[in-house]
Amino acid sequence: MTRVVFVLTILAVLFPNLGEGAELALEARLRILDQDRAPQGYIRPRQPFFLEAVLELEEDWPGEPPQVGLKVFDQGTLLMEVEGLGEVSEGTVRFRSPLHMLDRVSAQVEVAIALQEGAGAWRELERVRVYVVDQPITLPPDRVMMVSKDRLEFEFHGEYPISPTAPVYEYFPDGARPIEFSKFIVGAQDVQATVFQGEIVRIDILTPQVIDKMRVLITTDQFARTEHTVLRLSPVNAGFFVEERRTGRGFTASPGEQIEVRAKGETLLIRDPHGTIWEFANRVYITPWPGGMIQIDSFQRGVSPRFHPQYRGKFELTVRPEDKFQVINEVSLEEYLYQVVPSEMPISWPLEALKAQAVAARTYAVAQAINSRNGHRGYHVDDSTSSQVYNNQREAERTTRAIDETFGQILQHGDGTIGSTYFYASSPEDAAAPWYKWSFSLSGAELSAMLNRTLPQKVGTVTDVRIAAQDSSGQVTCLAVYGTEGKVEVRGELNVRSVLRPAKQYTGGGDVVMERSGGAVLNQALLPSAYFSLDITRDGEGRISSIKVSGGGSGHGQGMSQWGAKQMADNGRSFVEILQRYYPDRHLVLYTESKKR
């Protein structure tokens, strides 16, 4: 079953027997196994069990296998002590105790994992609390709304901490299989938790996890913030129901009516169409009647023309700190794509290019949901360029057709894994693309204002900005910012693009004009790509008077070139041929079929 157990990272454990100055980075994990060697997460009194220490190394273990020790304590009293040589295999050291039994229920048992450093010298890596449980409580199956490394939030049961040794099983038609905790997907249905003393000791996912719905974080106007202070919503085509499911309280709104959402402390305040203010202490759902959609009235999306975005699926509202709230749009995977593909590729382009885009976008969405990068906040992706732009263009018949004609198809590696298939609008090689070349300039004051808004900490007046690292293709992967109040290094392509935001809401000045091959544009919420250079002008006292950022291309710089896809489609190539050109190591499968394997 699962290897989801306590993880400890030790960044420099010294072993004298490995030679002077040798260092080894490792993770120490503890597993509790039943007599059939299946992980069970806790010990049952008077039933045999094994303890297994798993040490994960960044590289293969050098030299002879290490001596590993396990000690079991109950309320500080040593109950059991075993040691022996670990089994070394491909960067992993394993040591399993002999079969043992404990007689009584206890919540005070601890297991210490230790490693021998020299003659008679041991280093204790970690102590892990384990439970000796006779009759744990099994909760009714529920839906998981938030997943972090040490906590789960259920839709109705609420939030629970997770035991370091809690295993996870996923059930398939041929039986249950253990899975890594990292494969636990937020939004999973039919999840059954076994609980002891308020802590989860085992997790069973009773139906296979299939990404048939996406959980999309809806950002504020101009994609500027992830949390809202006020939102006005109205139903379109049919009414919607506003409900706090844990209590059953709520109200309805009809087409032509509007509601307003705010937050105060830990309470959502929602004004209904009749002016009544409803106070909700729990998550609130807004669910349209069949055929209905939810429209945001308090801001607009799009470039030209602007429009009030309308959403399929339902909204979930949760309170956040500082009188703010979070909005998640849960929508079917295919309907999510209806509002992604028009935002990512011109709808007038050839149908085969649109189909290739649909498959790439679907693959990216599924991979992001599986990886649960944002599971601790309850969503899979957001609606900005940080994930895939969503609902920044209206749905269109041609893109909907491209999605429908590639229904369920994703790109899969030969080993069955689904990688995060990034794709981009153009690369520096696409000379016909509107983003082939671009540039913009800021004053020193605008530069300081922008970076103090976008960096994780304030740096004061910016005194220098340097490109600190680039990858083999030339993308900037590390940007160093120096200021009167400190220095910050920004690492990662997307993070670099996220701090250089050429838009007036960040610079505090007038409109920021970006010159580009396809004509000038104003106020871009994200740097088009990480292919860029910097040209700084200083005054007589050495202060930055202006900076010019010049670059090429648009997007992640990995995967499929949209302009390349267009050219191939114009030349009569199918979407399958386009995908084979850009992803030669992957093949098309139906996602639902890939999950049956």
pLDDT at 221 over 50: yes
Q: Does 315 map to a domain? A: no
Poorest-confidence range of 211-215, 319-323, 431-435, 500-504? 431-435
Query: What tokens appear for 289 in the block?
Result: 């009647």
Q: Please compute, for residue 537, the number of CA atoms within 13 A of its CA located in the half-sphere on the CB side.
A: 10
Residue 53 shares a structural domain with residue 103:
yes
Question: Does residue 301 belong to any structural domain of this protein?
Answer: no
Q: Specify the 3-state DSSP secondary structure of 12.
A: strand
Per-residue buried b or exposed e for 461-490, using 16+ beta carbons within 10 Å of the residue's own CB: ebbebeeeeeeeeebbbbbebebeeeebeb
The tens digit of pLDDT for each residue in 153-163 reads 999 999 999 99
Mean pLDDT to the nearest integer, 452-464? 91
Has residue 386 got a pLDDT over 90? no
For residues 76 and 102, membership in a common domain is answered with: yes
Number of domains in the chain: 3
pLDDT for 389-417, tens place per residue? 899 889 999 999 999 999 999 998 876 67
d(CA 543, CA 536): 10
Residue ending a domain, choose from 111, 132, 153:
132
Residue 318 lies in a domain: no
Non-local (6+) Cβ contacts of 54 within 8 A are: 3, 5, 28, 29, 30, 31, 92, 93, 94
Gap between the Cα atoms of 209 and 375, Å rounded: 14
Residue 373 pLDDT grade (very low, low, confident, very high; cuts 50, 70, 90): confident
Q: Looking at the structure, do residues 84 and 156 belong to the same domain, yes or no? A: no
Encoded tokens for 308: 């009030």
Tens of pLDDT, residues 28-53:
888 898 888 888 888 989 899 999 98
197 and 103, same domain (yes or no): no
Cα separation, 337 vs 30, in Å, equals: 41
Token pair for 348 = 């007038």
Same domain? For 143 and 101 the reply is: no
The mean pLDDT value for 153-176 works out to 92
- Average pLDDT on 130-157 reads 92
Q: Are residues 175 and 118 in the same domain?
A: no
- The residue with greater pLDDT, 524 or 118, is 524
Q: Please provide the average confidence, as pLDDT, over all residues in the chain.
A: 86
- pLDDT score, position 457: 87
Judgement on whether residues 77 and 167 belong to the same structural domain of the protein: no
Residue-wise pLDDT for 437-446, tens only, equals: 789 999 999 9
- Domain assignment present for 97: yes
| One domain, residues 93 and 154 | no
Work out the angle at residue 112's Cα, subtended by the Cα atoms of residues 110 and 114, and round it to the nearest 5 degrees.
180
pLDDT of residue 472: 63
Mean per-residue pLDDT, 303-313: 89
479 and 504 fall within a common domain: yes
Mean pLDDT computed over 157-171: 92
Tell me what the mean pLDDT of segment 362-385 comes to.
88
Give φ, ψ of 556 to 5 degrees: -75, -25
Q: In what order do the strands lie in the sheet with 87-89?
A: 8-14, 23-34, 49-57, 92-96, 87-89
Q: What pLDDT is recorded for position 419?
A: 67
Question: Do 97 and 173 belong together in one domain?
Answer: no
Model confidence band, residue 422 (pLDDT cutoffs 50, 70, 90): low
- Least confident residue range of 66-70, 193-197, 405-409, 585-589: 585-589
> Residue holding tokens 């490693």?
115
- CATH code at 32? 2.60.40.10
**Residue 492 pLDDT > 90:** no
Query: Tokens 């009516």 label which residue?
Result: 257
User: Bigger pLDDT: 305 or 332?
Assistant: 332
pLDDT at residue number 190: 95
Q: Give long-range contacts, CB 8 A cutoff, 24+ apart: 508-512.
A: 508/445, 508/446, 508/449, 508/450, 509/442, 509/443, 509/445, 509/446, 509/449, 512/440, 512/442, 512/446
pLDDT tier for residue 436 given thresholds of 50, 70 and 90 = low
- What's 150's domain CATH number? 2.40.50
Residue with the bigger pLDDT between 204 and 164: it is 204
Of 187, 205, 223, the residue at which a domain comes to its end is 205
pLDDT score of 523 more than 60: yes
470 plus 534 within the same structural domain: yes
Is 60 inside a domain boundary?
yes
Please give the biggest Cα pair distance in the chain: 82
Q: What percent of the chain has pLDDT over 70?
A: 89
- C-beta of residue 144 within 8 angstroms of C-beta of residue 191: yes
pLDDT: which is higher, 59 or 584: 584
Q: What average pLDDT does range 454-460 have in this prediction? A: 89
Between 303 and 565, the more confident residue is 565
Q: Quick one: three-class SS letters along 526-581?
A: CCCECCEEEEEEECCCCCEEEEEEEECCEECCCCEEHHHHHHHHHCCCCHHHHHHH
Phi, psi at residue 438, to the nearest 5°?
A: -155, 160
Residue 83 placed within a domain: yes
Tokens linked to 400: 């909907």
What's the pLDDT at 557? 57
Whole-number Å distance between alpha carbons of 558 and 494: 12
Domain end (from 81, 110, 132): 132
Radius of gyration, CA atoms only, the chain: 27
Question: Is the pLDDT assigned to residue 427 strictly greater than 50?
Answer: no
Average pLDDT over residues 488-496: 85
Is the residue at 27 inside a domain? yes
Higher pLDDT, 368 or 26: 368
The residue range of the domain holding 200 is 137-205
Q: The whole model's pTM is what?
A: 0.75
Residues 123 and 153 in one domain: no
Assigned domain for 149 exists: yes
pLDDT at 303: 72
Kindly compute the dihedral angle of the four CA atoms of residues 585, 591, 593, 594, in this order, to the nearest 10 degrees.
50
CA–CA distance from 292 to each of 255, 288, 310 (Å)?
Answer: 9, 5, 10
Higher pLDDT, 169 or 89: 169
pLDDT tens for 470-486 read 876 677 889 999 999 98
Per-residue model confidence as pLDDT tens digits over 525-566: 888 888 888 989 999 999 999 999 988 777 655 677 777 888
pLDDT digits 0-9 by tens, 254-302: 999 999 999 999 999 999 999 999 999 999 999 999 999 999 999 999 8
